[in-house]
Structure 1
């Protein structure tokens, strides 16, 4: 796997090349039940919504845990913003208010897949916080994780997408 990482003032990204077809990689990303295993921080704990991701506007929730979060355990709401099988998938992350409204803080996750042949795919994971308002930036440092997080996540994704001996 090749590893390339970039960071600027508003986003961070990493790219790895997998010896896996793009369709197989996309299938793992579109399955919320795999997201805890993909996560490079260990914060994602479990899917709340288990339906496959299929369309822009779809909402899915994840159970999270972070020692620095005021509640420790909490839930995020994700809103699918991009889905183009097997080339791209991405979502905004936010939360649900006590009144049941969805609020998004301006950061999103996106995976771009470039097939390099029938069984090889370049995958770029981008975390972008360019739309985060100043009020949130005053409380949360961006990115809230080290640069190795994206590369770790891509390595986990590659392992999950790789064919098993039973395939």
Structure 2
């Protein structure tokens, strides 16, 4: 692991365009995540351009409010090869403030029905003032690999009939949606 970023790669038996379509759909991100922090997409429109903002409802037991919202800004959108976004928050005045970390997925086709997917979490631009109260990375080393396995399950043609929460395997505290799913079961 580089001191400023961490990445993982998984080859999936799914075409790159299909994997990219799942990543460009914010409504799938809670099922991909696996920490229990990402709850649901507040902005559900597909990601279609650099600069696009999409908000996600979040939950973390150590956050002052528990529930909160992040604003993500698309930085890279190169279908079906790469997608990346910065994560931040929207201030009361509507101004977006980014913390200096980003998520990036790079997809390399390995034939017509197989794709190598690399997920990178980079915090190299996080200022010292934020590093004083947030630990980086804020999750364990297996998180990225778990997320890639969740992505593969969502992108696989046979998984489309199942709901993402039924396959959700959190590595952290359970999400509200996972808790609600358990209550229903």
Report the counterpart of residue 70 of structure 1 in structure 2.
64
Q: 1:27 to 1:102 in 2, by over 3 A?
A: same
How far 1:98 sits from its partner (Å)?
A: 1.2
Q: Where does structure 2 lack aligned partners over 5 or more consecutive residues?
A: 162-185
Cα offset, 1:161, TM superposition: 0.3
Aligned to 1:80: 74
Equivalence for 2:45: 51
Which of residues 87, 108, 114 is equivalent to 1:114? 108
- TM-score (norm: length of structure 2): 0.85
Return the alpha-carbon distance in structure 2 between the equivalents of residues 55 and 94 of structure 1.
18
Corresponding residue of 2:139: 145
User: Given the alignment, which residue of 96, 99, 102 partners 2:93?
Assistant: 99
Paired with 1:166 and 1:151, the residues of 2 have a C-alpha distance of 21
* Contact 2:153 2:159 survives alignment (8 Å): no
Structure 1, gaps ≥5 residues long: 1-6
For residue 42 of structure 1, what is the aligned residue in structure 2?
Answer: 36
Shift of the 153–21 alpha-carbon distance from structure 1 to 2, 3 Å rule, reads: same
Show the counterpart of 1:159: 153
Report SS of the residue matched to 1:117: coil
**What stretches of structure 1 move > 6 A for 4+ residues in a row?**
none
State how far apart, in whole Å, the 2-side matches of 1:11 and 1:166 are. Answer: 32
Structure 1 counterpart of 2:3, from 1, 9, 20? 9
Root-mean-square deviation (CA, aligned residues, Å) is 1.2
> Per residue, is there more strand in 1 or in 2?
1
How far, CA to CA, are the matches of 1:31 and 1:166 in structure 2?
A: 14
In terms of fraction of residues, the more helix-rich structure is 2
Corresponding residue of 1:132: 126
